[in-house]
Amino acid sequence: MATIYTAIATATGEGRNGRSRTDDGILDVELAVPTEMGGAGGATNPEQLFAAGYAACFHSALKLVAGKQKAPITDSAVVAEVGIHPLEVGFQLSVALHAELGGVDQATADALVEAAHQVCPYSNATRGNIEVTVDATVA
């Protein structure tokens, strides 16, 4: 399989408290454990970064499948909720994706979201590994 792009990021510091930076410097963020997990908060965390990435990737996949199916979606957005759950050893993530779109009926919106879930790289990477739910709301 040919690679068309590789993203490179480096995390430094004290684990979940530190910094993460891409090799091109475009993304350079301070990291902190959220207060809900006993940390100081005040900075982003890996779950927020994952949520932002998944939301953007899924939104792109949604636009792609809508274009291929000539579905006239308007005012679209994707909200990703990433949860972290304790396991006996370690932690597990879960994701709930909520697509909001206009210009189509509910049945079409549901079909587009399911099709996007099949082509989104994040969905393909997580499938069978963590719980991911998807739904659509027509605006």
For residue range 22-73, list pLDDT tens digits in order: 999 999 999 999 999 999 999 999 999 999 999 999 999 999 999 999 999 9
Quick one: pLDDT at residue 16? 84
Domain residue extents for the chain: 1-44, 46-138
Domain 1-44 belongs in CATH node 2.20.25.10? yes
Q: Give 1's pLDDT tier (boundaries 50, 70, 90).
A: confident
> Cβ–Cβ contacts within 10 Å for residue 126, how many?
17
The whole-number pLDDT of residue 15 equals 78
Q: Which CATH superfamily is domain 46-138 in?
A: K homology (KH) domain (3.30.300.20)
Residue 130 phi, psi dihedral angles, 5° rounding:
-140, 160
* Residue 98 DSSP SS3: strand
